[in-house]
Amino acid sequence: MSEERAVPYHCPFCGGEDLRPAGPEHGTWECRSCLRVFGVRLIGQVAP
């Protein structure tokens, strides 16, 4: 598996595109449009 991480392009709350990493942990983002902080993580994969 690649060590490269995916970056969200839109805030799941307002759809804003001004996202920045929030804090030192990976997968936590802050939206500068609606001022919310949210997390993104992989749960698993679905069998084909």
pLDDT of the residue at 1: 47
pLDDT of the residue at 3: 52
Residue 36 token pair: 């919310």
- Give me the residue spans of the domains in the chain: 7-42
Those residues whose C-beta lies under 8 Å from the C-beta of residue 37, and which sit 6 or more positions away, are: 22, 28, 29, 30, 31
AA identity, residue 46? V
pLDDT of the residue at 17: 97
Write down the pTM of the prediction.
Answer: 0.74
Mean pLDDT by 10 residues, the chain (48 residues): 72 96 90 95 88
pLDDT of the residue at 23: 85
